[in-house]
Amino acid sequence: MSDYTIKRLDEVADVLGDYPGEMRMMTEGLDAEQVAFTYRRMPQHTGGKGSYGHRHKTQEEVYFVASGKLQFKLGDEVIELERGAALRVAPETWRSVWNDEPEDAELIIVSPRVEGGSKDDAEYLENFWPE
């Protein structure tokens, strides 16, 4: 057995189903024990606006905008970040992300891996970011 793992995006399932874009949770495919790693491609008008927000009980997240420009709603504040910007969000902060631009945006999300996965650590809030 090797002490490293390589996975390509197309080797990991897209968890979005029929929703536009893609979201690939790379963590399990990589057999990562300590770090959660997610790739998300967001076409225009995709994300949490008009939908829900989330926060975590223990898990901080770092968002890295790999391409494009994205809006983030953090509590009551909305900020825009462009390619090359990284954002750290504390666990208790309500958050959501949205692409309002015509171009696709690519987002990398990194966090500590938590027992049971992030769904067990997350709370969701409907109507967090009304349209």
Fold of 9-129: Jelly Rolls (2.60.120)
Q: For the full predicted model, state whether its pTM sits above 0.95.
A: no
Q: Which residue type is seen at 6?
A: I
C-alpha closest to that of 127 among 66, 54, 33: 54
pLDDT (tens, 9 = 90+) of the chain, 131 residues, equals: 579 999 999 999 999 999 999 999 999 999 999 999 999 999 999 999 999 999 999 999 999 999 999 999 999 999 999 999 999 999 999 999 999 999 999 999 999 998 766 678 899 999 999 98
Ranges of each domain in the chain = 9-129
Q: Which residues contact 7 (CB under 8 A, 6 or more apart)?
A: 26, 29, 30
Q: What is the Cα–Cα distance from 40 to 128, expressed in whole angstroms?
A: 20
